[in-house]
Amino acid sequence: MHKRLIIGIGILFIIAFSATATAFEVDIKAINNTVLPLESATYEVTITSDGQGEVVNIRADASSWILTPQAVNLKGNTTTAFDLTITPRSTVGLHNHIIPLEFIGMRSGEVIKEEVFLSVSLDLFIKSGYAPNIDLQVTATEQADPRQPYEVAVFLRNNNPRVYDELTITVTSDLFSEEFTTSLKGGPQYTFRKSFYYDLDDDEAPGWHDLGVTVSTAQHGVIAEDHSSYEVIGYPDLSMNREIRHKGFLGIKKVEVIILANNGNKQLTTTPSYAVGLLEDAFMSADPQGTVTKDERGRSITWDVTVQPGEAVEITLTKNYWPLIILIILIILIIIAYYRFRSPIIALKEAQVTMSDKEGMSEMKVRIFIKNRSRHAVSKLKVIDRVPHIAELLSHAHLGTLQPTKVTKSEKRGTIARWEIDGLEPYEERIISYKIKSKLKIIGRMSLPETKVKFESRGHERVTMSGPSVIVQ
């Protein structure tokens, strides 16, 4: 029973202690609580939180006071110190003020109320004059296109009754700098605006650069400043031109150059193309060598080209039709030589079966066609034909049939018949025909020897052959 009583008392003690414990504690010390109109007072605020994190909102009469900051994020079991600035609005009078402050825990719901003293007075100015208080705002884009003027806009506002006869505005960067002098003589809330424009180098490499703007006086030195950074953006600027470097006779050989120039400040990779026909491609060479592609628009040569800033790449196209011209000339010469040196006499030989039975063919008629296909007469034609051993020449005479001038029989070569013709006029034709009789029945096919024709043309003796003739049963 005694132990239970002790435990109960301990639990009640813990509950009572928890009820009185706070989620955070606030301590405020004044740093500067006597200010001129529109100037800010400063206080050191220390907040100690318990085991849990907390977000504390700071509130005051918004119609009279501007608080900075208005909220603080606390971690558990930590002490956070920061400067609290209180700026009186223009409606606040010149006298002493007790400002009620509320510190509101958004998680715990706990509210701690504190009061601070703030004096708005002109005593400081009466004793030593207003301290410089210039509000400086700088507007500049984070990205700068070097092809366009870069704008830096400066805004000044005078926050107290002090008059500034001469203010020096200095704009500095590693790419440009400028110093400008102005004045603020209009008293409190008097403003000044000016835009500065700077021409950057078009070839400036992409990268980040610092920008600083300061406002200074001869008496106090720098009284306001702003620091930021901006990026010079990269841009490719490709130009492509074609240039004829060499053009030979009648354009048979031509050297054309494609020039790709990067006028920007950033490396670029491009894929130029050149339309080319099948014949043109056969007689064209490229340096560097490209890739031939085909699409619905036709054939073209493409290249993958990387061009550095400020550099140019050349693609050389050489069209050389001399091989084609030489080939055409050779063909023409061959044709001319063929007609010039070909035999003016054409000799054709054919055979026709005139007598046959089931056992085979036994008698044939042979015809030799001779024609002068040239524009010049030929003379002293000698037609020589041979009959194989297996057959014999039949002598016969028909009207219009030219008879052999000589028939010779040889054991090795068979029967040789010769005909002589005095001459043939241009394009004149002659037909020589005779019959042969086979000593044996022939079944299948039989080949007859070629016929030789000797003649004189333009004072030279020449020979032409008819080619063999084949007889099929």
Residue in the block written with tokens 């030799």: 368
Q: Is the pLDDT of residue 58 over 50?
A: yes
Decide if 434 contacts 417 (C-beta within 8 A).
Answer: yes
How much is the pLDDT for 20? 44
Decide if 41 contacts 49 (C-beta within 8 A).
Answer: no
For residues 101 and 84, state if they share a domain: yes
How much is the pLDDT for 125? 54
Confidence bin at 155 (pLDDT 50/70/90): very high
Burial of 208 (0-12, 13-18, 19+ CB in 10 A): exposed
Is position 115 within any domain?
Answer: yes
How much is the pLDDT for 124? 55
DSSP class of residue 402 equals P
Residue in the block written with tokens 């009284």: 223
Confidence bin at 43 (pLDDT 50/70/90): very high
For residues 15 and 117, state if they share a domain: yes
Is position 337 within any domain?
Answer: no
Confidence bin at 4 (pLDDT 50/70/90): low
Strand order in the sheet with 253-262: 238-247, 253-262, 312-320, 284-287
Identify which of 389, 398, 388, 470 has the alpha carbon closest to the alpha carbon of residue 432: 398
CATH of the domain at 355: 2.60.40.1530
Find the mean pLDDT for residues 269-281: 85
Q: Is the pLDDT of residue 3 over 80?
A: no
For residues 227 and 242, state if they share a domain: no
How much is the pLDDT for 93? 81
For residues 211 and 257, state if they share a domain: no
Find the mean pLDDT for residues 336-349: 86
Q: Where are the beta strands (DSSP E) in 321-467?
A: 345-357, 360-372, 378-387, 391-394, 406-410, 414-424, 429-442, 445-448, 452-457, 460-465
For residues 353 and 457, state if they share a domain: yes
Report angle CA 287, 308, 144 to the nearest 5 degrees. 150
How much is the pLDDT for 463? 92
Residue in the block written with tokens 């031939």: 292
Confidence bin at 409 (pLDDT 50/70/90): confident
Q: What amino acid is encoded at 327 in this protein?
A: L
How much is the pLDDT for 333? 92
Decide if 432 contacts 419 (C-beta within 8 A).
Answer: yes
Last residue of a domain, one of 126, 143, 161: 126
Range of the domain at 54: 2-126
Confidence bin at 322 (pLDDT 50/70/90): confident
How much is the pLDDT for 57? 93
Q: Count other Cβ atoms within 10 Å, centred on residue 404.
A: 19
How much is the pLDDT for 232? 93
For residues 170 and 246, state if they share a domain: no
Q: Across-strand partners of 411?
A: none
How much is the pLDDT for 29? 93
Alpha-carbon span 179 to 197, nearest angstrom: 13
Is position 53 within any domain?
Answer: yes
Q: Count other Cβ atoms within 10 Å, centred on residue 304.
A: 11
Residue 281 main-chain phi, psi, to 5 deg? -65, -35
Alpha-carbon span 57 to 102, nearest angstrom: 8
Is position 58 within any domain?
Answer: yes
Q: Is the pLDDT of residue 13 over 50?
A: no
Q: Is the pLDDT of residue 5 over 50?
A: no
Query: What residues contact 293, with CB distance under 8 A and at least 6 apart?
Result: 273, 299, 300, 301, 302
CATH of the domain at 23: 2.60.40.10
Q: Is the pLDDT of residue 427 over 70?
A: yes
Q: Before 388, cis peptide (omega within 30)?
A: no
For residues 107 and 57, state if they share a domain: yes
Q: Which of 169-173, 218-222, 324-328, 410-414 has the lowest mean pLDDT?
A: 410-414
Is position 331 within any domain?
Answer: no
How much is the pLDDT for 310? 84
For residues 354 and 426, state if they share a domain: yes
With pLDDT > 90 as the criterion, what percentage of the chain qualifies?
37
Model pTM score: 0.46
- Dump pLDDT digits (tens) for 117-154: 998 876 655 444 567 788 999 999 999 999 899 999 99
Structure tokens at 389: 């051993």
For residues 366 and 437, state if they share a domain: yes
Confidence bin at 473 (pLDDT 50/70/90): low
Find the mean pLDDT for residues 71-93: 89
Identify which of 279, 294, 283, 284 has the alpha carbon closest to the alpha carbon of residue 315: 284
- Dump pLDDT digits (tens) for 361-395: 888 888 999 999 988 899 999 999 998 888 888 86
Confidence bin at 109 (pLDDT 50/70/90): confident
Is position 88 within any domain?
Answer: yes
Q: Count other Cβ atoms within 10 Å, centred on residue 352.
A: 12
Decide if 413 contacts 366 (C-beta within 8 A).
Answer: no
The overall average pLDDT reported for the chain is 85
Confidence bin at 472 (pLDDT 50/70/90): low
For residues 122 and 157, state if they share a domain: no
Cα pseudo-dihedral 141, 146, 149, 155, rounded to 10? 30
Structure tokens at 284: 């064209």
Is position 261 within any domain?
Answer: yes
Q: Is the pLDDT of residue 186 over 90?
A: no
Alpha-carbon span 246 to 252, nearest angstrom: 11
For residues 199 and 226, state if they share a domain: yes
How much is the pLDDT for 167? 92
How much is the pLDDT for 15? 41
How much is the pLDDT for 399? 56
Last residue of a domain, one of 206, 232, 258: 232
C-alpha gyration radius of the chain: 59
Q: Which residue has the higher pLDDT, 291 or 471?
A: 291
Q: Is the pLDDT of residue 220 over 70?
A: yes
Decide if 168 contacts 136 (C-beta within 8 A).
Answer: no
How much is the pLDDT for 452? 93
Last residue of a domain, one of 74, 104, 126: 126
Is position 169 within any domain?
Answer: yes
Q: Is the pLDDT of residue 1 over 60?
A: no
Task: Measure CA of the first residue to CA of the last residue in the chain; give whole Å.
Answer: 146
Domains: count for the chain? 4
Confidence bin at 170 (pLDDT 50/70/90): very high
For residues 144 and 227, state if they share a domain: yes
Alpha-carbon span 32 to 41, nearest angstrom: 5
Burial 77-92 (b: 16+ CB within 10 A, else e): eeebeeebebbbeeeb
How much is the pLDDT for 231? 93
Structure tokens at 46: 């220390």
